[in-house]
């Protein structure tokens, strides 16, 4: 495998074509010529090349309704490159085997009942682990170089998850944090493709955030939103600090809590209403710091933060308004994700495909 020379050009173009098809679905050769800015003949050669190596399938003649010879349609062959994606939660593990182009080929979910997630993953990926080119695990917490430095939810600190998974399954794993994975998912397969700096907030047992800049996960990604200190010297947090957002909001922790509180507040329960409002304000203040520090143009409220945001949009916005400069707010959209709780799994898969495509270059 030559690392330089004209062959590199070919590799890059091949990778670009595969990426294009993976991201934007089946396309005619004419569209590919336009999209990649290459010559017709070059696209023809590339497509033939990729068809021979099995990545791409070409189906003839699709009548467009306009004049001219119909263009041949190229599309990904899902089984040509598969990615194993896994999402670890407190009480369950979700698994998907995704094919090139994004089609989900297999899918499973395992309740943990106190088992180690690594064992559950090893069991569920047993049949497919070797077939997948990449394997990616999304885990809630602070991830650094494959290792989980800190996870409130799982009670882990400094666990080398990539190594444990490798030992249990006999293959390499990439580890990302749930929020960053979800951000990647929403950007690539969701509704946030126009965002140049996307901040995804994930509410699970803990609160984390992930940033996607120009479509790529921010290096050293995960933001421990739950451990932004909103009340200096406030309540003691499990992490050892004081006044963390997580500690101050500890009355909540699940979507159901929010729904109960919202229901109670609607029925005139003043304490519930105040609790919701205060939580919204705390969240808005923590966000203020994150927005000032990172300057996103879009924020998605995921996990149970979705419910909290929908119930408390006004206090969130006003607290945000009190803690960020007008210009940063003016270009900022606040929304909820469109992939629901599939975002992290989708994003984990897309992270894998990014590695696959990079590996072709």
Contacts with DNA, residue ranges (CB under 7 A): 2, 4-7, 9-10, 13, 28-30, 33, 37-46, 48, 61, 63, 65-72
| Binding partner of residue 256 among its own copies, DNA, none, CB cut-off 5 to 8 Å per kind | none
Tokens of 42: 């070059």
Contact 56, 50 (CB under 8 A): yes
Q: Which is nearer to DNA, 9 or 314 (CB)?
A: 9
Contact 150, 239 (CB under 8 A): yes
Compute the distance between CA of residue 137 and CA of residue 156 in angstroms, rounded to an integer: 15
Using CB under 8 A, which of 224, 312, 346, 351 touches its own copies? 224
Q: Which of 58, 107, 111 is nearest to 82 (CA)?
A: 107
Q: Which is nearer to its own copies, 98 or 212 (CB)?
A: 212
Degrees (nearest 5) of the Cα angle 354, 299, 261?
A: 125
Tokens of 133: 């080119």
| Binding partner of residue 150 among its own copies, DNA, none, CB cut-off 5 to 8 Å per kind | its own copies
Instruction: Classify each residue of 225-255 as buried b or exposed e, where b means 16 or more C-beta atoms within 10 Å of its C-beta.
Output: bbbbbbeeebeebebebebbbbbbbeebbeb
Compute the distance between CA of residue 258 and CA of residue 312 in angstroms, rounded to an integer: 10
| Binding partner of residue 228 among DNA, its own copies, none, CB cut-off 5 to 8 Å per kind | its own copies
Compute the distance between CA of residue 294 and CA of residue 287 in angstroms, rounded to an integer: 10
* CB-based contacts of 53, cutoff 8 Å, min separation 6: 80
Query: How are beta strands 56-59 and 134-139 bridged, if at all?
Result: unpaired
Q: Which is nearer to its own copies, 157 or 163 (CB)?
A: 157
Using CB under 8 A, which of 232, 267, 268, 270 touches its own copies? 232
* CB-based contacts of 308, cutoff 8 Å, min separation 6: 203, 252, 258, 276, 279, 280, 283, 301
Using CB under 8 A, which of 70, 155, 170, 220 touches its own copies? 220
| Binding partner of residue 176 among its own copies, DNA, none, CB cut-off 5 to 8 Å per kind | none
Q: How far is the CB of 237 from its own copies (least distance, A)?
A: 10
Task: Tally the C-alpha atoms within 13 A of residue 70's C-alpha that lie toward its C-beta.
Answer: 11
Other Cβ atoms within 10 Å of 335 Cβ, number = 15
Q: Is 77 among the residues that bind its own copies (CB under 8 A)? A: no
Q: Which is nearer to DNA, 42 or 110 (CB)?
A: 42
Using CB under 8 A as the binding rule, the residues of this chain from 293 to 352 that contact its own copies are: 293-295, 322-328, 331
Q: How far is the CB of 26 from its own copies (least distance, A)?
A: 23
Q: Which is nearer to DNA, 42 or 128 (CB)?
A: 42
Q: How far is the CB of 297 from its own copies (least distance, A)?
A: 8
Using CB under 8 A as the binding rule, the residues of this chain from 127 to 186 that contact its own copies are: 142, 144, 149-150, 157-158
Using CB under 8 A, which of 285, 301, 343, 356 touches its own copies? 285
| Binding partner of residue 214 among DNA, its own copies, none, CB cut-off 5 to 8 Å per kind | its own copies
Contact set with its own copies (CB under 8 A) = 3-4, 6, 8-9, 37-39, 142, 144, 149-150, 157-158, 196-197, 209, 213-214, 218-225, 227-230, 232, 239-242, 285, 288-290, 292-295, 322-328, 331
């Amino acid at each position: 495998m030559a690392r330089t020379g004209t062959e590199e050009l070919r590799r890059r173009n091949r990778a670009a074509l595969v990426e294009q098809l993976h991201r934007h679905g089946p396309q005619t050769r004419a569209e590919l010529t336009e999209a990649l800015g290459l010559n017709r003949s070059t696209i023809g050669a590339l497509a033939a090349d990729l068809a021979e190596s099995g990545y791409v399938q070409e189906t003839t003649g699709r009548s467009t309704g306009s004049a001219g010879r119909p263009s041949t349609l190229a599309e990904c062959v899902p089984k040509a490159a598969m990615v194993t994606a896994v999402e670890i939660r407190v009480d369950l593990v979700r698994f998907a085997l995704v094919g090139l182009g994004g089609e989900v080929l297999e899918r499973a979910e395992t309740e943990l009942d106190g088992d180690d997630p690594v064992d559950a993953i090893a069991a569920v990926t047993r049949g497919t682990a070797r077939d997948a080119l990449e394997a990616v695990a999304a885990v809630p917490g602070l991830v650094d170089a494959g290792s989980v430095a800190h996870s409130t939810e799982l009670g882990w600190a400094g666990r080398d998850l990539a190594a444990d998974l490798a030992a249990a399954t006999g293959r390499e794993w990439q580890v990302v944090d749930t929020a960053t994975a979800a951000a990647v998912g929403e950007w690539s397969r969701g509704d946030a493709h126009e965002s140049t700096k996307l901040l995804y907030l994930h509410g699970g047992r803990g609160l984390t955030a992930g940033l996607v800049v120009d479509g790529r996960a921010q290096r050293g990604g995960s933001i421990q939103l739950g451990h932004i200190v909103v009340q200096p010297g406030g309540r003691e947090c499990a992490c050892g600090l004081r006044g963390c957002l997580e500690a101050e909001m500890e009355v909540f922790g699940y979507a159901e809590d929010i729904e109960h509180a919202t229901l109670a507040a609607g029925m005139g329960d003043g304490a519930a209403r105040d609790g919701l409002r205060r939580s919204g304000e705390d969240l808005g203040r923590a966000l203020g710091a994150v927005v000032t520090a990172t300057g996103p143009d879009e924020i998605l409220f995921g996990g149970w933060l979705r419910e909290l945001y929908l119930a408390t949009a006004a206090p969130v916005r006003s607290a945000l308004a009190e803690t960020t400069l007008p210009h940063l707010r003016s270009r900022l959209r606040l929304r909820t994700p469109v992939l629901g709780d599939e975002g992290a799994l989708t994003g984990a898969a897309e992270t894998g495909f990014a590695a696959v495509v990079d590996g072709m270059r």
